[in-house]
Amino acid sequence: MSFEDEYQVTSEFSDRTNDFLSSHLISPTPVNYSVIYLHISNENEMLSAAINKKLKQGVLITADFMADLFERYVSLTEQIENTVLAPFEKTLSKTLEQITKQVSNEDKAAINLEKLDKILAKTKTTTSMDNIVSYLFNTINSTKAQHEELSQKLTTTQQEINQLKDKLASSRQEALVDSLTGLLNRRGCDEKLQNLSHADTHSSLAIDIDHFKKVNDTFGHFIGDKVIQRIAKTIQSHIGEQDLAVRFGGEEFVVVMTNTPLAEAKNIAEKIRIGISKMRLKQRDTNTFLPPISVSIGIAQNDNISEWTTLFEQADTALYQAKNSGRNCCICA
């Protein structure tokens, strides 16, 4: 498809999107525009199904509903940037370019009329000719002002698009990180692992907090969350910047130690285990210390392993061996 064809299609979708927003009294914000554009262009079936269901029910489409669709189907994907924002910015850029040319032509016309007006002022002309020149002058200046106002509005729209891009980038980043600890979550781990080669030597630590249920039952989930946060910080303090620290589940952590053989990984695992065992956590309300916290750690290396899940399973098996060996210890697969 040529640029002209793409521009025509994009313009048509833009017009239909704006018509939809207007007819349903939906504010034309970048978020709402993105959602409806994807609906109009049939780029996201689940999103369109949700909107069509609302329309069939005759229910008012609210701002909260649009925000929810944006979060669920748009913000965590790159679809909006590739499918909506890129062509929309092309349309916007071309429109601004055309307006700039029009304003330039209007400036030239105004200059020529000024010259004509000066010539007429020196000659004996009819009042009707003066009126015609005055009318053309006023018309051009009015049109120029309208075009400049439209250009300003489109420039503001471009700024809103840039803000939306920042929001999308932030949303995708947040989706890769565990909100409690700041460590990677499973999705974040999967994305980072794509940059690592199985041909290199990597090791994995599977870490589980011993008797964590007892901590929650005795002191409550708020204290339990504080324990998890402190352990996450201890793990991070003992690994390198290139290593991946992941909160894998409730009280489960995984560390991928890049370019690290098994023996070195075990030494670091021991430092993590000892560091956690030395933590002294105080409950502020009662001013009492919690019982010592310990972890069990399983360690594995990616020898002849072509799948990350296999490495994690081996580390997990070693973790259960550590649990069965009395906990608060490190076991290699």
Residues marked active site are found at: 251
Q: 């990350």: which residue's tokens?
A: 308
**Cβ-based neighbours of 120, under 8 Å, separated by 6 or more:** 129, 130, 133
For residues 255 and 239, the answer to whether their CB atoms sit within 8 Å is yes
Compute the distance between CA of residue 239 and CA of residue 275 in angstroms, rounded to an integer: 12
244-247, strands of its sheet edge to edge: 244-247, 252-257, 203-209, 295-301, 330-332
The token pair that represents 56 in the structure block: 């069939």
Helix axes 221-237, 262-277, angle to 10 degrees: 140
CB burial class (10 A; 0-12, 13-18, 19+) of residue 330?
buried
Residue 85, helix vs strand vs coil: helix
Residue 99 tokens read as: 């307006």
Q: How far apart are CA 21 and CA 30, in angstroms?
A: 11
Does residue 236 contact residue 179 with C-beta atoms inside 8 Å?
A: no
Radius of gyration for the chain, computed over Cα atoms and rounded to the nearest angstrom: 32
Count other Cβ atoms within 10 Å, centred on residue 116: 15
